[in-house]
Structure 1
Amino acid sequence: MNLSVAEAASPAAEPVVRRPSLAGRTRAGLDAALAEIGIPEKERRMRVGQLWNWIYHFGVRDFAEMTTIGKGLRAQLAEHFTLDLPEVTAEQVSSDGTRKWLLRMAPTGPRDRGAEIECVYIPEVDRGTLCVSSQVGCTLTCTFCHTGTQRLVRNLTTEEIVTQLMVARDRLGDFPHRSAPEGAFVPNDGGRFVSNIVFMGMGEPLYNFDGVRDAIGVITDDQGLSLGRRRITVSTSGVVPQIGPLGDEMGTMLAISLHAVRDELRNELVPLNKKYPIKDLLEACRNYPGLSNAKRITFEYVMLKGVNDSDAEARELVRLLKGIPAKINLIPFNPWPGTRYECSDWERIERFSEIVFKAGYASPVRTPRGRDILAACGQLKSETEKLSARARLMLEQDEAETTAVAH
């Protein structure tokens, strides 16, 4: 195992009353914060613009750095608010460069110690992709997915979604005047470290529709984080009524976690199918706003040995998607402790891909990334139901010492 735990979780402390953070807020949220401390309405629009630039373009973490704002207002802001991001309680780095962060959110009440979620950064030659979470846990129970074994705790707020990107940019030195850590991916075209976002982390994004929509609004604002909507993909297991509104209100790319071509099997793999069967799901896809060859839907299909990987199923997949501008993303199953599934043999995956490709569909096989740190597709599960970072670090040290003695 080639991974490092850069920061181990500290022993839990009694929660304290914290000043609320302005990081991750919408423009309306910043306006409300300024109104709360008595800033006149006529002044607030200008001040919101200033705060927006400092928080989202420059990524500052101290009001004192906001030199275009008078000292008096800076002191007033610092008295009532912070610019804190979620706490990184553990960082794991895979042998392939993938980074997984365990983030602890600010407590929401006196008995709340802060929810924990995971997000993953995947460096590639031509892009840097951030996989973000939309819920703490998941309301779905997809049988092949590790996250699906954790109960839903709650939806993440807009701020908690936005600040996942901010944490990534902060950790990667992706804000102006901040340097990248050793070994970080450096774009060769002068672009951002995080050039793409996929809502494929913990949770079902369309069951947190408002939070995800408002977060995308902040992320795509060209005065701040400035990520294009075509560089954001929202993945759903098939919440049919929200697919049309997703296209209308967010305008992002769409990915569908399909994984089966028959309702009987999909009912087992993706139980949501019992409510929204394949026929209804594909009809919603055909009507997705803006759908074209330039804006294709990605259909995700996890390859499960002896379950959904036959030639017949590949041909049925092609038949089902006829007429839909689509790309079929074949995902080698990523194992996790306790699963009953196995990954399809590589020869079988290639054969499946060949059938799909010859029918005219792009059918890339997703390279598994971060498997050694449980950061690959379907492997995320918050640390509250696993070993603590400190315990895991001690275990790895014991393993290393044992290996050294054996050699």
Structure 2
Amino acid sequence: MTALASPPAASAAIERPSLVGLSREGIGAELAAIGVEPRQIRMRTAQLWSWIYQRGVTDFAAMTNISKDLRAKLADHLIVSRPEIVTEQISEDGTRKWLFRFPPRGAGRPVEVETVYIPEVGRGTLCLSSQVGCTLTCSFCHTGTQRMVRNLTAEEIVGQILMARERLGDFPDATTPVGAAVPAEGRLVSNIVMMGMGEPLYNFEHVRDALLIASDGDGIALSKRRITLSTSGVVPMIARAGAEIGVMLAISLHAVRDDLRDVLVPLNKKHKIAELLDACRAYPGLSNARRITFEYVMLKGVNDSPADARELVRLLKGIPAKINLIPFNPWPGTDYACSDWETIETFAEIVNRAGYASPIRTPRGRDILAACGQLKSESERMRARERLALEAMVADAAE
């Protein structure tokens, strides 16, 4: 684990507005507020948009196609923010995990989230967080044991992308760290998944605004087919996500019966499986080329039988879909275990025969608690360790 110093701009983020995460209209409003002439606002907005998102520049003084006087005015009143990096961890398999710190913004103290970069052959995937903590309390998920603190802003979601690209050397003229595991060619952050801490559809507006910047052709410029939003099943927001964001959709399913999903994903008590799948069938733009991904964590003796696999196939009939089987990633204090590999392969064979591509997602970053379901802020993780230690002491004393 490497502890890193805060970027210079972080301490000023509370005092001066940041341009990161704003729409073009929002940037234009900030320019108008500092006295930029109305006839120049559109041009200056386009220049700032390019410098911030295409070139990764944080210092107004480096924006050389903007007049010197305006650069000075921008520096006096505005910033291009980056999150503070508390720690950076690198797994044996090359996976990177950053612990980012953001201002309190009503939380009473600075807040922390984790963001993960997964390098693979031909692509580099960045797993973003949308909330500090989570309200859903999914029983197999480490993040679900952390109380909900607050939503992240569009600025903070986009900031995770910009800081990851900066640390990896993914901006023009930047240098990639020696020995870093990254794709051999092309963009180093080529894919984004909203699968980190939090439920994205419970922070809809900020997630939408951030992902529209990520997919903007003049912004971060990732194809919407390379951006995936994962939800545990906030049914009323699914159609809106398709209409207003238009990225790929993933559903954290994990069970084929309502009684079991009520335990694994308590949101199911509000929106049952049948209702969730109806919303998936109606997802805007759904086609064989734009399939929904159904995520299914493999829990030993819980949801991994051949009968479960056959029922999964039956439930998804008629939905253009693929299935991601995720070996359970253990975390301190969990009551679950990962299914045996032979069991996972048997399950995969059944869904594959039905025509659903079901790659078994090889666990990545387990040694640094960076795998699916393992994310949690370090302060909350420390409290959990202390709680477990106290429980062990009490148990020993009772004996």
After superposition, the Cα gap between the structure-2 partners of 1:186 and 1:271, relative to the gap in structure 1 and judged at 3 Å, is: closer
Aligned counterpart for 1:281 among listed residues 269, 276, 280 = 276
The reply to whether residue 323 of structure 1 matches residue 318 of structure 2 is yes
Answer whether contact 2:101 2:111 (CA < 8 A) is retained.
yes
Q: Name the counterpart of 1:118.
A: 114
Give matches, 1:207-286, under 5 Å: 207-286=202-281
Cα offsets for 1:123-180 (capped at 9, x unmatched): 0011000000111111111000000011111111111111110011000011111111
Give matches, 1:349-368, under 5 Å: 349-368=344-363
Aligned counterpart for 2:2 among listed residues 2, 5, 8 = 5
Q: Name the counterpart of 1:131.
A: 127
Q: Name the counterpart of 2:389.
A: none
| Post-superposition offset of 1:39 | 1.3
| Post-superposition offset of 1:15 | 9.7
Answer whether contact 2:85 2:98 (CA < 8 A) is retained.
yes
Q: Name the counterpart of 1:146.
A: 142
Q: Aligned equivalents of 1:361 and 1:122: distance in 2?
A: 24
Q: Aligned equivalents of 2:41 and 2:65: distance in 1?
A: 14
The reply to whether residue 38 of structure 1 matches residue 35 of structure 2 is yes
| Post-superposition offset of 1:17 | 5.5
| Post-superposition offset of 1:6 | 4.6
Give matches, 1:65-80, under 5 Å: 65-80=62-77
Q: Aligned equivalents of 2:357 and 2:69: distance in 1?
A: 58
Q: Which moved more, 1:174-183 or 1:369-378?
A: 174-183
Q: Aligned equivalents of 2:5 and 2:65: distance in 1?
A: 37
The reply to whether residue 160 of structure 1 matches residue 165 of structure 2 is no
TM-score under structure 2 normalisation? 0.92
SS of aligned partner of 1:43: helix
| Post-superposition offset of 1:107 | 4.2
Answer whether contact 1:185 1:193 (CA < 8 A) is retained.
no
The reply to whether residue 176 of structure 1 matches residue 172 of structure 2 is yes
Q: Aligned equivalents of 1:348 and 1:95: distance in 2?
A: 26
SS of aligned partner of 2:157: helix
The reply to whether residue 298 of structure 1 matches residue 293 of structure 2 is yes
Q: Which moved more, 1:308-317 or 1:99-108?
A: 99-108
After superposition, the Cα gap between the structure-2 partners of 1:47 and 1:15, relative to the gap in structure 1 and judged at 3 Å, is: closer
| Post-superposition offset of 1:112 | 4.3
TM-score under structure 1 normalisation? 0.90
Give matches, 1:14-93, under 5 Å: 18-93=15-90
SS of aligned partner of 1:342: coil
User: How many residues in Structure 1 have an aligned counterpart in Structure 2?
Assistant: 382
Aligned counterpart for 1:307 among listed residues 299, 302, 306 = 302
After superposition, the Cα gap between the structure-2 partners of 1:103 and 1:372, relative to the gap in structure 1 and judged at 3 Å, is: same
Root mean square deviation of aligned Cα: 2.0
The reply to whether residue 206 of structure 1 matches residue 201 of structure 2 is yes
Give unpaired runs (5+ residues) of structure 1. 392-407
Letter in 2 for 1:218: I
Q: Aligned equivalents of 1:231 and 1:150: distance in 2?
A: 29
SS of aligned partner of 1:386: helix
Q: Aligned equivalents of 2:26 and 2:363: distance in 1?
A: 38
Q: Aligned equivalents of 1:201 and 1:186: distance in 2?
A: 20
Q: Aligned equivalents of 1:77 and 1:136: distance in 2?
A: 30
Q: Name the counterpart of 2:337.
A: 342
The reply to whether residue 105 of structure 1 matches residue 102 of structure 2 is yes
Cα offsets for 1:25-75 (capped at 9, x unmatched): 221221121122111222111110111111111111211100000110100
Q: Aligned equivalents of 1:53 and 1:107: distance in 2?
A: 29
Give unpaired runs (5+ residues) of structure 2. 386-399
